[in-house]
Amino acid sequence: MFDIEKICSGETHFSKRLIPYEQLAEVVNILREKNKRIVLTQGVFDLIHEGHALYLEQAKKRGDILIVGVDSDELTRKRKGPGRPIVPQEERLKMLVHLRHVDIVSIREAHHGIGDLIHLIKPDVLVTSKSTKDFTNEMKDEYKNVCGEVVNLPPQGTTSTSARIRNLTIEGAVQLSEEIQKLTTSFINKIKGIE
C-alpha cells in the first residue's frame, strides 16, 4: 500500500515516492481525500540544473503535492534525438526525489501520449514551460477542461539543458579539431623530412 505520510514528509524515501504510472490515479484519489491540491508537471529533466530546481519550486508553490512525470529514456530519444538523454532515467528520478519541492515521480513511457498523464491525474494545476516546443497553445487550451488551472512558466534558468549539451559538443569539437591539426601538421612534416 501507499505510505502517504512518507510521500508528504519532504524526506527522500525514493521507494515510497516513485509511483508506477498505473497506480498514480489511486494515490491521487487518496491525496484528494486528504484535501491536498495536486500540481503536475512533466518533462525529461536531463542534466538537472538550477533552472529545473527553480521551475519545480515555482510549480510546488501552486499546490500541496507536486507530481513530476519523467520521460523514460525511450521517450526522451523519441522527443530529443538519439543522443539523449545524457543521464539515464533511474538517475534522473533519484535526483528529482532529492529536490525538496518534488513529492512524487513517475515514468512516462514512449507509448504514453503527451496528454495521457494529464488525463489520468486531472491535476488541480498543470504547470508547463514556455520552452517546451511539443506542447502547443491549442493543447494547453484543451487541458483547461481537464485541469483546474494551466500555468505556463517562462524558463527559470539562464541556459537550457540542450544549450549546455550544445556548448559541450562545440567545445569538444574545437579540441578535436586542434588535435587533428597538430597530428596532420606533424604527419606532413615527417613526410617532408622536416622533423
Confidence of residue 149 (pLDDT cuts 50, 70, 90): very high
Confidence of residue 156 (pLDDT cuts 50, 70, 90): low
Give me the pLDDT at residue 174, please: 53
- Asked if 38 and 123 count as a contact pair (C-beta separation under 8 A), the reply is yes
Give me the pLDDT at residue 176, please: 58
Q: Is 157 helix (H, G, I), strand (E, B) or coil?
A: coil
β strands within 77-187, DSSP E: 104-108, 125-129, 149-153
Give me the pLDDT at residue 143, please: 83
Return the higher-pLDDT residue of 119 and 5: 119
Q: Can you tell me the distance from the alpha carbon of 128 to that of 7, in angstroms, rounded to the nearest whole number? A: 23
Reply yes or no on whether the pLDDT at 128 is more than 80: yes
Residue 39 belongs to what H/E stretch?
strand 38-43
Give me the pLDDT at residue 103, please: 95
Q: Can you tell me the distance from the alpha carbon of 114 to that of 21, in angstroms, rounded to the nearest whole number? A: 14
pLDDT in tens, 54-108: 999 999 999 999 999 999 999 999 988 888 898 999 999 999 999 989 999 999 9
Give me the pLDDT at residue 168, please: 54
Give me the pLDDT at residue 157, please: 63
Q: Which one is the CATH code of 4-157: 3.40.50.1240, 3.20.20.70, 3.40.50.620, 3.40.50.300?
A: 3.40.50.620
Q: Can you tell me the distance from the alpha carbon of 31 to that of 17, in angstroms, rounded to the nearest whole number? A: 13
| pLDDT above 90: percentage of residues in the chain | 48
Confidence of residue 187 (pLDDT cuts 50, 70, 90): low
Domain spans of the chain, in order of start: 4-157, 159-195
Return the higher-pLDDT residue of 32 and 79: 32
